[in-house]
Amino acid sequence: DQQVKQNSPSLSVQEGRISILNCDYTNSMFDYFLWYKKYPAEGPTFLISISSIKDKNEDGRFTVFLNKSAKHLSLHIVPSQPGDSAVYFCAASAGSNFGNEKLTFGTGTRLTIIP
């Protein structure tokens, strides 16, 4: 049972445009959501997170939007840069510990930025 879903395995975006990565979840107990970025041969690195009490969190070029009623979140990257090419994982946790407990991951979306 895949509780966190990233339905797009890949996405290509022109440099300078906006990249939008989507994530859906089914477990209503999830209260903290994270996005990780992974380059080949490296471990995932934390990118941005959002608590369920918010609907938006912004950090530089990265913004995460959360729609609790739809159980949907999205990561916006604008403007997209070649260095953003990587696999992006959505993750969720329950228990109100800021994602520091067990994480449930999506399958990832491979983002390719076209120069």
- Map residues 17-46 to x or -, x wherever contact with another protein holds by CB under 8 A: -------------------x----xxxxxx
Q: How far is the CB of 6 from another protein (least distance, A)?
A: 8
Nearest to 74 by CA among 13, 8, 22, 12: 22
Separation of alpha carbons 11 and 77, rounded Å: 12
Residue 56 interacts with another protein (CB under 8 A): yes or no: no
Q: Which two tokens stand for residue 20?
A: 């939008």
Provide the CB-side half-sphere exposure for 95 (13 A, CA): 9
- Map residues 1-20 to x or -, x wherever contact with another protein holds by CB under 8 A: -x-x----x-----------
Among 25, 73, 80, 108, binds another protein (CB under 8 A): 108
Residue 107 interacts with another protein (CB under 8 A): yes or no: yes
φ/ψ of 70, rounded to 5, equals -90, -5
